[in-house]
C-alpha cells in the first residue's frame, strides 16, 4: 500500500491566471487495469484565478489532505466560487465533502448526468449547481476567461464534461489524452517516450468506448490540432500524467486512428453492466481489454445510463454479449433485469454469452443471470466470474484472459464459415496465396518457453519467432501475438526468462504449454522448475535459459515484436542442440 511519504503535490504555474496542482504517487494507486503498468500516477487539478476563481477536478480521497494543504498555502478557499467536475465518482466525493465543509458557498459546474449523480452521492448537503448541457453553455470568470463546455459521455464516465479556456488556450480533457505515469516532468517534452503509456491507457480506458470517443473528437473538431492549419489549443490538460503540448498533433491523430481501428473490427461484443461501488466496472474494463486485444470490437453499455432502445439495437447487432452485475439486497439492479429481458426477447440463441459480477456477502445476481441465460439455451464463452469485494491483480488477469477466450471462440466460429465462402468463388487466388504462405513457412526459429511472474500473476507461452538482435548489449527479439495472455506482462522494464528447448526432448514441455488454459489457470502446475534471480520460472527441462528484461517493443500487425536484453544465462545441457520449428504455412505457428 502507498504511504503518505510516497506522495506529494507538485504546484506548477502554467499562465498568469492558471496553476496546476499535480497530486503524485510513485507507486500503483488502485487495482484497476489502467494502472497495471505500475508507473505511478498523477491526479491533476487546475485552478483558474480571474475576477472569479474556479477549481477544475479536485483529486480523490487518496490525495485529499495533501491537495487541500497545498491549495490553502496559496489560496484563500473563501475566494473560490466554482468547482468544475469533469466526471463524478464515489472516490472523489470524499474530497468534495471536505471542500464543502471549508467553503459551503461553492457552486458545482457539471453535466446533467453529473448533477444527478452528485445529488445521489451527497443527499444530505444542499448543493449549488450550474448544469452545462451543451457546447453553447459558458461560464464567465472575468478577464477574458469565458469557459466553454463539451459534454462527452462514455459508458464508463456518463457525466464526462470537457472544458476549454480560450484566454489561455487550454483544453481540460479529464480522461481523454491521459496516461498513468508519475514524474517531475510537467509537459511532454520528448513526447515519443510516453507513446506506449498513452496507448496502453487508451486501450484500457477508451478502446471499449471507441464510438463515443470518435463522437467526442467530432464535437471538439474546431479546437483540435491539424497538421496543416495548426490549432487554437496551446495544450491539453488531462487528469492524469504529463500535459500534452509537444505531441499535440500526433496524439490527436493517434486517438482518431486508434478509435477507427477499433470500430473497423469485423466482430462486435456487447458488454452490458451496472456497478454499485465501481468493482463491477473494473471487471468489465478488464474483460473489455481481453476482447479488444484479441481483435474484437467492444460496445460497452452502462445500463444505468443507457435507454432500452439503444441496448436493444446493440445486442441485436453483436456477435455475442456479456452481462455484469453487482448484487444489491440479494437481487440484480433493476437496470440489469431490464437489460436481461431485452436480451432474452431479441437476441438469437446461437449468440455466445457470458456473465460476471462482484458482491459483498452474496452473489445472487450472478446466479440469476447465469440460470436465465442457460435455461434460454445460450452457450457460454467462459464460466461465470464471481468476485467478492474488490478485485485483485489475479482477478483482473483472469477477467482479461476470459475476454480473450470469448473473442477467440467468436473468431474460430467465423473462420469455420469462411473457407466455404472462399471455395465457392471461382476467381479466388488461393493457389498463389498458398504458395506464398508455404514459402514464408520456411523461415524457422528456435523453440523456447517464455516465462514471467509479477507479484502474484504468472504466465508463460511457447515461442518460435525468436532471433538474436544485438551483440552489445546481448539482446534478442521475440514476437508475441496481441491476444496472448502473457502480452500484458511484457512491457518495457518487465522481467522474464527465455527457456530454450533441447532437440529431441522438447515434446513434453511443448505439448504442456501448447494446450489450452482456462482463464486464470496455473500454467506451471506439474512442471519441474525453480525461480531465477529475476523472480521468473526456470524450466528444468530446458537446455539453457536467459534472464531478460524488456527494453522496448514495436507494434507489428497482429503481433508485438519485443526486444529484450539479457542480464545473465546458463547452459543446462552442453551437448543438446536447440529445437526448431518447421512450419507448413506462413499463417500458422
Cβ-based burial of 147 (10 A; exposed 0-12, middle 13-18, buried ≥19): buried
Bridge pairing between strands 107-110 and 128-131: parallel
- Output the domain CATH number for residue 353: 3.40.50.360
pLDDT of 559 reads: 94
Question: Do 225 and 278 fall into the same domain?
Answer: no
**314-363 pLDDT, tens per residue?**
999 999 999 999 999 899 999 999 999 999 999 999 999 999 999 988 88
Residue 583 confidence class, pLDDT cut points 50, 70, 90: confident
**173-213 pLDDT, tens per residue?**
999 999 999 999 999 999 999 999 999 999 999 999 999 99
Q: Among 104, 110, 67, which Cα is nearest to 88's?
A: 110
Residue 1 confidence class, pLDDT cut points 50, 70, 90: very low
Rg of the chain, C-alpha, whole Å: 26
**ω into residue 265 within 30 of 0, thus cis?**
no
Question: Do 577 and 543 fall into the same domain?
Answer: yes
Q: Enter the DSSP assignment of 192.
A: G
Residue 531 Rama label (left phi>0; alpha psi -120 to 50; beta) = beta
Contact 274, 333 (CB under 8 A): yes
pLDDT of 230 reads: 63
Cβ-based burial of 122 (10 A; exposed 0-12, middle 13-18, buried ≥19): middle
- Identify whether 341 is part of a domain: yes
Give the C-alpha separation, 135 to 145, whole Å. Answer: 16
Cβ-Cβ contacts under 8 Å for 123 (sequence gap 6 or more):
none
Question: Do 130 and 227 fall into the same domain?
Answer: yes
How many residues in total does the chain contain?
A: 589
- Identify whether 421 is part of a domain: no
Ranges of H-type helices in 377-465? 393-423, 430-440
Please write down the long-range contacts of 502-508, taking CB distance under 8 Å and 24 or more positions apart: 502/541, 502/542, 502/543, 502/573, 502/576, 502/577, 502/578, 502/579, 503/576, 503/577, 503/578, 503/579, 503/580, 504/576, 504/577, 504/579, 505/541, 505/576, 506/447, 506/579, 508/541
Residue after which a domain boundary falls, among 262, 283, 307: 262
- Output the domain CATH number for residue 532: 2.30.110.10
Average pLDDT, integer, range 445-458: 93
Contact 95, 64 (CB under 8 A): yes
pLDDT of 428 reads: 44
- Output the domain CATH number for residue 126: 3.60.15.10
Average pLDDT, integer, range 80-108: 94
Query: Structural domain of residue 362, as residue ranges?
Result: 265-410
C-alpha cell at 188: 511532454
Residue after which a domain boundary falls, among 262, 286, 304: 262
C-alpha cell at 322: 456479456
**546-558 pLDDT, tens per residue?**
999 999 999 998 9
- Identify whether 425 is part of a domain: no
Question: Do 54 and 196 fall into the same domain?
Answer: yes
Average pLDDT, integer, range 249-278: 93
Give the C-alpha separation, 509 to 221, whole Å. Answer: 54
**2-55 pLDDT, tens per residue?**
444 579 999 999 999 999 999 999 988 877 889 888 899 999 999 999 999 999
Question: Do 236 and 115 fall into the same domain?
Answer: yes
Question: Do 118 and 251 fall into the same domain?
Answer: yes
CA torsion angle 61 63 64 69 (round to 10): 170
Bridge pairing between strands 445-446 and 580-581: antiparallel
- Identify whether 361 is part of a domain: yes
Residue 299 Rama label (left phi>0; alpha psi -120 to 50; beta) = beta
Question: Do 392 and 283 fall into the same domain?
Answer: yes
Give the C-alpha separation, 232 to 244, whole Å. Answer: 14
CA torsion angle 126 128 133 135 (round to 10): -150
Residue 424 has pLDDT above 80, yes or no: no
Cβ-Cβ contacts under 8 Å for 317 (sequence gap 6 or more):
268
Question: Do 129 and 227 fall into the same domain?
Answer: yes
Question: Do 235 and 313 fall into the same domain?
Answer: no
**103-160 pLDDT, tens per residue?**
999 999 999 999 999 999 999 888 999 999 998 999 999 999 999 999 999 999 999 9
Give the C-alpha separation, 180 to 38, whole Å. Answer: 8
Question: Do 35 and 69 fall into the same domain?
Answer: yes
Q: Average pLDDT of the chain? A: 92
Q: Enter the DSSP assignment of 502.
A: B
Contact 61, 45 (CB under 8 A): no
Cβ-Cβ contacts under 8 Å for 30 (sequence gap 6 or more):
none
Strand positions, DSSP E, 482-528 = 495-500
CA torsion angle 530 532 533 534 (round to 10): -130
Residue 438 has pLDDT above 90, yes or no: no
Residue 524 confidence class, pLDDT cut points 50, 70, 90: very high
Question: Do 211 and 75 fall into the same domain?
Answer: yes
Question: Percent of the chain, pLDDT > 70?
Answer: 95
pLDDT of 2 reads: 43
Residue 427 has pLDDT above 50, yes or no: no
Contact 49, 21 (CB under 8 A): no
Q: Report how many domains make up the chain.
A: 3
Give the C-alpha separation, 405 to 266, whole Å. Answer: 17
Residue 425 has pLDDT above 50, yes or no: no
Question: Do 309 and 183 fall into the same domain?
Answer: no
Distances (CA, A) of 275 to 209, 285, 306: 17, 12, 13
Residue 422 has pLDDT above 80, yes or no: no
- Identify whether 184 is part of a domain: yes
Element (H, E) at 184: none
pTM over 0.75: yes
Give the C-alpha separation, 575 to 368, whole Å. Answer: 59
Residue 426 confidence class, pLDDT cut points 50, 70, 90: very low
Amino acid at each position: 500500500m502507498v504511504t503518505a511519504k510516497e506522495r506529494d503535490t507538485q504546484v506548477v504555474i502554467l499562465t498568469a491566471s492558471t496553476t496546476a496542482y499535480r497530486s503524485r504517487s510513485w507507486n500503483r494507486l488502485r487495482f484497476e487495469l489502467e494502472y497495471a503498468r505500475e508507473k505511478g500516477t498523477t491526479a491533476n487539478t487546475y485552478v483558474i484565478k480571474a475576477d472569479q476563481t474556479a477549481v477544475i477536478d479536485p483529486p480523490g480521497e487518496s490525495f485529499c489532505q495533501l491537495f487541500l494543504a497545498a491549495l490553502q498555502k496559496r489560496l484563500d478557499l473563501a475566494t473560490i466560487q466554482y468547482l468544475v467536475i469533469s466526471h463524478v465518482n464515489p472516490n472523489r466525493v470524499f474530497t468534495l465533502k471536505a471542500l464543502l465543509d471549508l467553503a459551503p458557498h461553492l457552486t458545482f459546474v457539471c453535466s446533467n448526468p453529473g448533477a444527478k449523480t452528485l445529488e445521489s452521492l451527497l443527499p444530505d448537503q444542499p448543493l449549488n449547481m450550474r448544469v452545462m448541457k451543451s457546447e453553447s453553455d459558458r461560464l464567465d470568470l472575468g478577464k477574458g476567461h469565458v469557459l466553454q463546455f463539451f459534454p462527452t459521455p462514455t459508458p464508463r464516465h456518463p457525466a464526462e464534461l470537457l472544458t476549454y479556456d480560450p484566454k489561455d488556450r487550454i483544453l481540460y480533457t479529464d480522461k481523454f489524452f491521459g496516461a498513468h505515469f508519475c514524474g517531475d516532468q510537467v509537459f511532454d517534452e520528448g513526447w515519443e517516450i510516453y507513446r506506449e503509456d498513452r496507448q496502453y491507457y487508451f486501450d484500457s480506458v477508451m478502446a471499449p468506448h471507441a464510438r463515443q470517443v470518435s463522437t467526442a473528437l467530432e464535437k471538439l473538431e474546431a479546437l483540435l490540432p491539424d497538421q496543416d492549419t495548426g490549432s487554437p489549443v496551446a495544450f491539453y490538460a488531462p487528469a492524469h500524467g504529463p500535459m500534452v503540448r509537444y505531441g499535440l498533433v500526433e496524439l490527436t491523430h493517434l486517438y482518431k486512428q486508434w478509435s477507427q481501428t477499433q470500430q473497423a473490427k469485423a466482430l462486435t461484443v456487447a458488454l452490458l453492466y451496472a456497478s454499485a461501488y465501481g468493482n463491477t466496472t473494473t471487471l468489465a474494463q478488464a474483460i473489455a481489454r481481453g476482447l479488444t486485444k484479441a481483435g474484437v470490437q467492444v460496445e460497452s453499455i452502462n445500463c444505468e445510463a443507457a435507454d432500452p432502445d439503444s441496448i436493444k439495437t446493440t445486442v441485436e447487432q453483436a456477435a455475442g454479449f456479456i452481462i455484469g452485475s453487482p448484487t444489491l439486497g440479494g437481487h440484480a439492479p433493476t437496470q440489469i433485469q431490464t437489460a436481461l429481458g431485452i436480451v432474452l426477447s431479441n437476441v438469437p440463441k446461437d449468440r455466445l454469452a457470458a456473465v460476471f459480477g462482484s458482491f459483498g456477502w452474496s452473489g445472487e445476481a450472478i446466479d440469476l443471470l447465469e440460470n436465465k441465460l442457460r435455461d434460454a439455451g445460450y452457450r457460454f464463452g467462459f464460466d461465470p466470474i464471481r468476485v467478492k469485494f474488490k478485485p485483485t491483480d489475479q482477478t483482473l488477469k483472469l477477467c482479461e484472459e476470459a475476454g480473450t477466450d470469448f473473442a477467440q471462440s467468436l473468431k474460430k466460429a467465423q473462420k469455420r464459415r469462411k473457407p466455404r465462402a472462399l471455395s465457392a468463388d471461382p476467381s479466388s487466388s488461393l493457389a498463389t496465396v498458398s504458395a506464398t504462405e508455404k514459402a514464408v513457412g520456411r523461415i524457422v526459429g528456435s523453440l523456447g518457453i517464455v516465462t514471467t511472474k509479477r507479484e502474484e500473476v504468472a504466465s508463460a507461452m511457447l515461442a518460435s519467432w525468436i532471433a538474436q538482435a544485438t551483440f552489445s548489449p546481448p539482446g534478442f527479439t521475440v514476437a508475441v501475438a496481441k491476444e496472448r495472455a502473457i502480452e500484458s506482462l511484457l512491457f518495457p522494464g518487465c522481467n522474464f526468462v527465455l527457456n530454450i528447448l533441447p532437440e529431441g526432448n522438447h515434446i513434453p514441455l511443448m505439448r504442456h504449454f501448447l494446450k489450452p488454459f482456462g482463464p486464470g489457470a496455473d500454467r506451471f502446475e506439474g512442471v519441474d522448475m525453480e525461480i531465477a534471480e529475476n523472480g521468473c520460472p526456470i524450466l528444468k527441462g530446458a537446455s539453457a535459459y536467459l534472464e531478460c528484461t524488456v527494453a522496448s517493443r514495436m507494434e507489428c500487425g497482429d503481433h508485438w515484436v519485443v526486444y529484450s536484453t539479457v542480464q545473465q544465462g546458463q547452459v543446462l545441457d552442453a551437448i543438446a542442440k536447440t529445437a526448431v520449428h518447421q512450419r507448413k504455412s506462413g499463417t500458422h505457428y
